[in-house]
Amino acid sequence: MIKTINDAISEKGDYLAGGTDYMDRKRHHLIGDRPIDLMGIDGLDQITVDPKGGVTIGALTSMVNVAQTAVLQEKYAGLAQAAGALATPQIRQVGTIGGNLTQATRCQYYRHPNLTCTKKGDAVCGGREGYHPNGVVFDNGGCAAPHPSTLAMALMAYDAQVEINGAEIRPIFDLYGDGSDHSRDHLLGEDEIITRIILPAAEAKEKAAYFRASARARAEWAIVECVVCLVMSGDTIKQAFVSVGGVAPVPLRLPQVEAALVGQPAVAETFKEAAQLAAEGANPLPQTEYKVPLLCNSVEETLLRAAGLADE
């Protein structure tokens, strides 16, 4: 049994945590025959509060624990809500936060053995000229599929960092880059494993919310999703953090929306005007044009929920 990170690295195989996607990928010949089970590594399934107020989450922490731990619900509500909305109760019970951050694309062109995909080593993305209604809205060529990690998107709203191999600390943005490398879903090297996620101390008077637009209420991948964190000074927005998923090859922060919110009153009109900026720079694929207004509306809804103004 694997007991340490060094043990895992020395085995030279495919890393496995909760394993919720392993058999599907194996069935489609997308993964090798040497799974390296990380679940025996001690200490990576804990959530701890540091003396300065930040929180550290072990990479093997289940998504249900992320969703239900009181300190996360209280201080990082957007993250807890996002974890609680993922997949099904069964998957949340065994799936891990580290696995969610490094999961493979859900695109059918990747998962079908006879379809072309840049993440399988093909030169072209089959989905680009084929069926792509859940594809990207911010297109930079190459892969047409949006990044699958809800928790990466949520963690970006909190300026989280990730610990690699128990030592090196990187901003979570560095896990994914700008999405221009269409051959893979994250930028970890073969001998690199996420061990912990580090959240900075929560801001006082922070309000947060998560919202997803999907074809059905449960067990459906998000078409568009958003996390919003608002730091208030009275009725005025002092700081704003807005992240979105389902619309680009990587999870995105929306600085143009954030800038439009800062210094403004937390009222519906402010949120409506700021949310329209969410689509700034969008260049949707032919079948994803419908996502542009959906993106703006989803950001507006999340802002309203964070401020307690939504009719849920």
Measured CA to CA, the distance from residue 301 to residue 166 in angstroms comes to: 38
Contact 213, 294 (CB under 8 A): yes
What pLDDT digit, counting tens, does each position of 19-50 carry? 888 778 888 788 887 888 899 899 999 999 99
Closest CA relative to residue 97, chosen from 53, 54, 67, 55: 67
Q: How confident is the model at residue 61 (pLDDT cuts 50, 70, 90)?
A: very high
Q: Which domains does the chain have, with CATH numbers?
A: 5-105+147-199 (3.30.465.10), 206-306 (3.30.390.50)
Is residue 126 classed as helix, strand or coil in its secondary structure?
helix
Report pLDDT digits (tens) over 71-102: 999 999 999 999 999 888 898 999 999 999 99
Bridge partners (DSSP) of residue 161 are 171, 198
pLDDT of 227 reads: 98
Span 226-267, pLDDT tens digits: 999 999 999 999 999 999 999 999 999 999 999 999 999 999
Sheet containing 55-58: order of strands: 47-49, 55-58, 194-199, 161-164, 168-171
* Three-class secondary structure of residue 110 per DSSP: helix
Largest CA distance in the chain: 57
What are 253's two structure tokens? 């922060």
**In this structure, are strands 47-49 and 168-171 parallel, antiparallel, or unpaired?**
unpaired
pLDDT of residue 208: 98
The residues, any chain, with a CB within 8 Å of residue 10's CB and separated by 6 or more, are: none
Cα angle, residue 30 at apex, residues 151 and 177 outer, rounded to 5°:
40
pLDDT value, residue 14: 86
Residue 218: pLDDT band with limits 50, 70, 90: low
- Helix (DSSP H) and strand (DSSP E) numbers for the chain: 13, 11
Cβ atoms within 10 Å of 69's Cβ, excluding its own? 18
* Residue among 186, 20, 10 at smallest CA distance from 95: 20
pLDDT per position as a tens digit, 273-284: 999 999 999 999
How high is the pLDDT of residue 27? 81
With residue 4 as reference, give the H or E element that holds it. none
pLDDT of residue 87: 85
**R_g over Cα of the chain:** 19
Closest CA to 20 of 115, 87, 105, 117: 87
User: Quick one: pLDDT band at residue 119, thresholds 50, 70, 90?
Assistant: very high
Per the CB < 8 A criterion, the answer to whether 282 and 184 are in contact is: no
* Average pLDDT along the chain: 94
Ramachandran bin of 141, using left for φ above 0, alpha for ψ from -120 to 50, beta for the remaining angles: left
